[in-house]
Structure 1
Amino acid sequence: MTDDGPDGAEVHRAMRLGEPPRNLGEAVRKLVWILPWLVFFSSPIDDLLSGHHGSTATVFGWIGFGTFVGTYLALVFRNMGRAFSGPVVGVLVAGLGVLAVALSLTLGPDWLGLFVYVSVACGVTLPMRAAYVTIPATTVTMLLVGLHGGEDDAWGLVLLVLLIGFSMTGVRELVRTTIELRKARATVAQLAANEERLRLARDLHDLLGHSLSLITLKSELAGRMLPDHPDKAAQQVADIEQVSRQALVDVREAVTGYRRPRLAGELAGAQVALTAAGVIADLPAEPDLATVTEDSESALAWALREAITNVVRHSGAQRCVVELVRRQTLDGPMLELSVEDNGSGGSGKGPGNGLTGLTERLEKAGGTLEATRLKHGFRLVARVPAGAPLTATDVGSPA
């Protein structure tokens, strides 16, 4: 499975927990994610700076604290160039646990906060099955160490250690699921493109295969007839001309069908264009076009494309609202497309070539176009025949 295309780029840019950053931007994002959680190191630092311990205990405390912090950051940040192997991760997590127990037992209850980081490391770096066992084990160990030191406040850390560890497993699963969904979306898009190419190949074969074979056969036949039967050869040439003209008509009709815009595709393209231009987009869901003819759908799709182009290029709008509703009018059921923005309303005093051509296209499909400058913005309303009577639930307000 490849990660090409926009969706693949999103997968490539996704920040991965428990794995090494792939660029400076990802390293900064991981650092911003990690730094707020270092607040629990304040108690051990205050304890070492308070002078409650002898010089030897303080020195070994700083060494143990530095070793713990370095190991924790190496596990979670993973900036060592490549990801650690499974056994190395297990050893480092076990080392964190041993240091947390040793420092808490020797230097006092102010060091119980280290077990929070042991729980986080278990949730971020270990396999899920192992994390589900080691996180509760870390919590129980912290409680026993706290009670051994006569510290009843250890009960207050039980829920914190447990929830933070399991929340990290949830974040891991969320990131993994998001990446898999993005990969699946990229795969679906690639399969759709492949299917479209296959359809094009089949249509071209069906359109041109017979015609080209017939042209080849008649050309060979005309070549053989030409010396002795020029009249019959001329008839074959005339047949060749007729077949080739028909093939040209078929190809043009097929190309017209491929070029025909679809409303669903134009809605998706409008979302992308407006977002890229920094315009807040409010678009409808995928429309139900069961009773709408291809000509009507194509006309609405062209109207949407023209409207969005004007919004992006000329309006300077901050918001664009697109609505698609069915209405019962005096002329029968109509499908109405409305595009409204809060921009400047354009600079021209009359309809441009785009709106003029769009009006002609809609009239040809039996529809109408209305373009209105608002006090703060511009509204374009395109209507085409819906093609079938509406039920009571489909009928909107009269046009």
Structure 2
Amino acid sequence: MTEDQTATAAGDTPMGRPPRNRRELLVKMLWIGVWLIFLSSPISDLTSGRHTTGATVAGALGLAAFVGVYLSLVFRRMGRPFSPRLTVSMITILGVLAPALAYSLGSAWLGLFVYLSVACGATLPVRAAYWAIPVSGAAMYLVGLHSSEKEARGLLFLVVMIGFSMVGVGQLVRTTIELRKARATVAHLAANEERLRLARDLHDLLGHSLSLITLKSELAGRMLPDQPEKAAQQVADIEQVSRQALVDVREAVSGYRRPRLAAELAGTQVALTAAGVTADVPAWPDLTGVPEESESALAWALREAVTNVVRHSGADKCLIRLTHRQTLDGPMLELCVEDNGSGGSGKGPGNGLTGLTERLEKAGGTLEAGRVRHGFRLVAHVPTATSGHVGSGA
């Protein structure tokens, strides 16, 4: 099972990890690039012609150095961050360039303190950021007194607010990473526990049978020269015991292989969010009275539908609903999976949907799948012995 990935508000891209593909990289670059709007004032000031040639060249070089250091900090934060010492050094460079440029070239450059505050909130430890952000705001205000106190007063709240907002975002990213690691650990422990349980069950099933086969084989070997009839009876017993052991093993393995709807729903939430898809998944379903065969068929349908959403649809939203319905054919449990993607290649149902249709028909159910106005929808029905409504909120 893939790790759970939480989506950001900036386009539902996973938080706390490097971009995995070009789409995620473009979304994160767009999210970072939007904040470069505060550079419009310094650039306009440089091109206005109000400064001397030397001041304009110095300002352009200083601005280029400031933006380069800032973007390096932010982009590296998406992957492998710089070491703490290098991070502090780069923030120090920003802390020198911002007041120097704003003091020398005027109030149009006070917006650089916004980037300084963001860098402090996003890259420094929480305790260090708590004092670095107010210091950045105070420095901006003091520098602003030299050129425009009114503008400095207006920016003060913005500088402090954005800085502390980035502290909150950083905390959320760290929590997301820790949660992902915890879920991976839980999944690993669950897999180990399942393997141990399977080993215990197989030991219980086969231990007695194999011991009996061994004893009867030894006994038949001793009887074979002098008592062939009794030896033949022992061989017949061995055949009967081995056949029964084979039946027991097949039943045990088929029970383990049968998917459970509740487990598939939990895996669905993780798989969809890992793929950057906003998932609306129902809560733990009430399966009272639902035959195991029907539940298994519906679980296979859910697995196939989610696989298609993740691999082929290109969707970013997926809605899943489970509902008990009373039909002319009797009570039915309905699974509806709808996404806003392209619906795949459009060359007709693939092998997965064909096999799923056959599996549902064996359980007495039906499958409907096809494109809708805003994406693709799969609806599966299986018979059940009860009626009611399953909660639809995740």
Using the size of structure 1 for normalisation, the TM-score is 0.71
DSSP 3-state at the match of 2:235? helix
In structure 2, do the counterparts of structure 1 residues 307 and 96 end up closer, same or farther at CA, with 3 Å as the change threshold? closer
Please say which of residues 124-133 and 144-153 is displaced more in the overlay. 144-153
Match of 2:132 in 1: 134
Deviation sequence 1:82-114 (CA, Å, 0-9, x none): 643212221221221122222222222222111
Distance 2:320 2:148 in 1: 64
Q: Could you tell me whether the CA contact under 8 Å between 1:324 and 1:335 is conserved in 2?
A: no
1:203 aligned partner, one-letter code: D
Report the AA paired with residue 224 of structure 2: L
Counterpart code for 2:40: S
CA distance in 1, matches of 2:358, 2:44: 75
Cα distance in 2 for residues equivalent to 1:335 and 1:262: 20
Q: CA deviation at 1:72?
A: 1.9
- Point out the more displaced range, 189-198 or 84-93: 189-198
Moved more, 108-117 or 248-257: 248-257
In the other structure, the counterpart of 1:324 is: 323
**Taking structure 1 as reference, are residues 153 and 306 closer, same or farther at Cα in structure 2, changes over 3 Å only?**
closer
State the shift of 1:241 in Å. 2.7
Contact 1:21 1:78 (8 Å CA) reproduced = no
Which among 275, 293, 297 is matched to residue 298 of structure 1? 293
Q: Deviations over 1:311-364 (max 9, x none)?
A: 989xx9x9987433387x9x9xx8631256999xx99xxxx99879856645xx
- SS in structure 2 opposite 1:7? coil
Supply the AA of the counterpart residue of 1:123: G
> Which amino acid is 1:51 matched to?
G
Structure with more relative contact order (C-alpha pairs < 8 Å, separation 6 or more): 2
Corresponding residue SS for 1:324: strand
Residue 337 of structure 1 is matched in structure 2 by: 333
Contact 2:368 2:378 in 1 (8 A): yes
> Aligned residues: percent identity?
57
Q: Which has the larger radius of gyration?
A: 1
The amino acid across from 1:323 in the alignment is L
Structure 1 284/126 Cα, relative in aligned 2: closer, same or farther at 3 Å?
A: closer
Aligned length: 359
Alignment-mate amino acid for residue 325 of structure 1: H
Q: Which residue number corresponds to residue 186 of structure 2?
A: 188
Partner Cα separation in structure 1 for residue 262 and residue 32 of structure 2: 42
Structure 1 residue corresponding to 2:94, chosen from 79, 93, 96? 96
TM-score (normalizing by structure 2) = 0.72
Measured after TM superposition, the shift of residue 307 of structure 1 is 9.4
- Seen in structure 2, the aligned counterparts of structure 1 residues 161 and 209 have a Cα distance that, compared at 3 Å, is same
SS of 1:385 mapped into structure 2: coil
Contact 1:21–1:27 (Cα < 8 Å) also in 2:
yes
Letter in 2 for 1:285: A
Pairing 1:240-255 to 2, within 5 Å after superposition: 240-255=238-253
**1:115, 1:161 within 8 Å by CA — same for their partners in 2?**
yes
**1:132 counterpart SS class:** helix
* Separation in 1, partners of 2:124, 2:270: 39
CA-based RMSD of the aligned residues comes to: 4.7
- C-alpha separation in 2, matches of 1:138 and 1:241: 84
CA distance in 2, matches of 1:67, 1:357: 63
Taking the aligned partners of 1:380 and 1:120, their CA distance within structure 2 comes to: 49
Q: In the alignment, which residue of structure 1 is the partner of 2:151?
A: 153
Alignment of 1:1-399 (within 5 A): 6-7=2-3, 14=14, 16=16, 28-78=26-76, 83-149=81-147, 151-265=149-263, 284-289=282-287, 291-292=288-289, 296-302=291-297, 305=300, 322-325=321-324, 336-339=332-335, 361-362=363-364, 381-386=381-386
